[in-house]
Amino acid sequence: MSTEQKASYVRLEIEGAVAVVTFDRPEKLNALDMGVLAELNAILDRIEGDVAIRAVIFTGAGRAFVAGGDIADLGSRGALAHYNEFAETIHRTLRRIELLDKPTIGAINGFALGGGTELLLTFDLRLLSDKSKLGLPEINLGLFPGAGGTQRILRQVPSCRAREIMYLGEMISPEEAVEIGLANRVVPHDSLMDEARAMAAKLAAKSPLILKLLKRALIDGADMPLSAALRHEQAVIGLVLDSRDAHEGCAAFIEKRAANFQGE
Active site residues: 118, 138
Q: Are 104 and 96 in contact (CB under 8 A)?
A: no
DSSP 8-class letter at 138:
G
Q: Identify the three-state secondary structure at position 33.
A: coil
DSSP class per residue in 151-215: HHHHTTS-HHHHHHHHHH---B-HHHHHHTTS-SEEE-GGGHHHHHHHHHHHHHTS-HHHHHHHH
